[in-house]
Amino acid sequence: MAKRKREMSKRKRGVAVVKRKRRGLQLSDLPTDILCCIISQLSIKEAARTAILSKHWKYVWHSRRNLLFSFKSMMPRSYNSRPYASRKHDQDFIDRVEAVLKQHPGAGVDKMEVCYAPLSNQNADYIDRWLCFAIATKTRHLIFDFTPFHAIYEPYRFPLEIFSATNSSYLQSMKLGAVSLKQPENFNGFLNIKKLELKDVDITDEGLQLLLTKCHALEFLGVSLCGRLTSIQTSHPSSRLKHLQVYSCPSVTEIKLNLGLKALEYQGSLIPLAPPGTLTNLCINSSDACSALVYIFSGLPSTLPCLETLTLKSEELERASLLDKPPKFIYLRNLRLELIFPCKIKADVLDFACLLEAAPFLENLEFHMWMDMNSTGLKTMRIEPKPMVAARYVGLSSRDAPSSADGYKVANKYISKEDHRGVVHITRVRRRDVVNAPTFHLIDPQRFPLLPEI
């Protein structure tokens, strides 16, 4: 009461009374390390916009630990429509990367990624400087992927000689794309790197073999689109490799694997494989396999007593003649078959029933089948309701999409009427999401929201 009277007396005397509102909790009040974590989830462009809020926010975004530089994240949308149209666009991209790195305080960087930027050896001075920045900031995960690059220029020569046992000790994973790798005599290797991916890299058999022998902690190796490779050998005594991926290396005719390998993924022409007995996960994608059953019972290496997971992608060009006594896969628990059925081939899903006998302890069995909508097999098959458009990796083109069966319609027609107990629930992908999906992508239920049948 007395306080109110004092305020009224001040107003009568003409004294202004200002009430201060209590400042509420704001985002900027959070600890700096949490703010840096939040900023790291934004793209470079989005993070840069926070700099206008205050000097503190400017410091926070400059200190981000994940640096992702790509045409999509760095350039205006007008550039994204024709990102490789001119060298001027390349220089604009380089200038923006340079500006960001100059403002970075140089603290520890967890991940640095330069991808989908068509850079070449003509830009070596800039890229070398970025690489030195990654080394100086003790980057743990490094990605330099310049695919697709301008084919008329020489690919960037990745300077392995700048790495030493000391400055590369923080590096745990590295992915290189569209670069040239020539190993110098004084290269000491990457002592602590656990994951290495090479995509469209100019490297020889000897160069790869020497590189692997100097990566003693390597557990994952991915090799794709490396046209000069004819042989891949991971069988050196000190190898700790657990997972090997070999995709689309057309000249490879030999793969020698190390003991202790757990997972092998291979895409390409069928070649003799002698996986070690420790292998538990195998994925084969080959157009040379004329029948999944024939490959499983005849072509699959017999040195796989502990195989637990098998994924096979092939085109069913012939109907398999089953063996009287097929081999047993006692440890097999997961089997996934991705099969393409030409319209003229008579398909019967019961042919695959023998897999249940060959793998008596099988827990998960998946069939993913692609066939022409006029195929007679549709009348007797039950198909997972997955609409699809042309998928590049299964050998279809955009003109094949209209004739591909819509799994939702097939399920409604052939499965629902047989569901007398009402246990089948059919889901669908929204049509507009299918229509607007980019060409050469498989429309998977996990990618779009599923709508129950009404």
347 vs 342 pLDDT, higher one: 342
Sign of CA dihedral 408, 410, 412, 418: negative
Residue 222 forms part of a structural domain: no
Q: Which tens digits make up the pLDDT trace of 290-341?
A: 888 888 888 776 678 789 999 999 888 777 776 677 788 889 999 999 888 7
Phi/psi for 10 (5° steps) reads -65, -40
Lowest mean pLDDT among 7-11, 35-39, 74-78, 391-395: 391-395
Provide the token pair at 55. Answer: 């000097």
pLDDT band (50, 70, 90) for residue 261: very high
Share of the chain above pLDDT 90, in %: 30
Q: Which residues face 264 on adjacent strands?
A: 244, 282
Q: For residue 405, give its domain range.
A: 382-454
Helix (H) or strand (E) holding 92, with range, is helix 87-103
pLDDT band (50, 70, 90) for residue 112: very high
Quote the pLDDT of residue 272: 81
Q: Pairing between strand 179-180 and 220-224?
A: unpaired
319 vs 227 pLDDT, higher one: 227
Provide the token pair at 50. Answer: 């926070």
Other C-beta atoms closer than 10 Å to the C-beta of 337 total: 20
Instruction: Name the residue among 357, 380, 377, 381 with its Cα closest to residue 367.
Output: 381
Quote the pLDDT of residue 319: 77
pLDDT band (50, 70, 90) for residue 59: low
Quote the pLDDT of residue 180: 95
Residue 114 forms part of a structural domain: no
Q: E-assigned strands of 242-395?
A: 243-247, 254-256, 263-267, 281-285, 309-315, 334-341, 364-371
Residue 221 predicted with pLDDT over 90:
yes
Share of the chain above pLDDT 70, in %: 65
pLDDT band (50, 70, 90) for residue 392: very low
Mean pLDDT of 399-419: 61
Total domains in the fold of the chain: 1
CA angle 20, 21, 24 (to 5 degrees): 140
Residue 74 contacts residue 83 (beta carbons within 8 Å): no
Provide the token pair at 145. Answer: 């992927």
Mean pLDDT of 146-157: 80
Mean pLDDT of 159-176: 92
Identify residue 406 by its one-letter amino acid code: D
Residue 431 forms part of a structural domain: yes
Residue 223 forms part of a structural domain: no
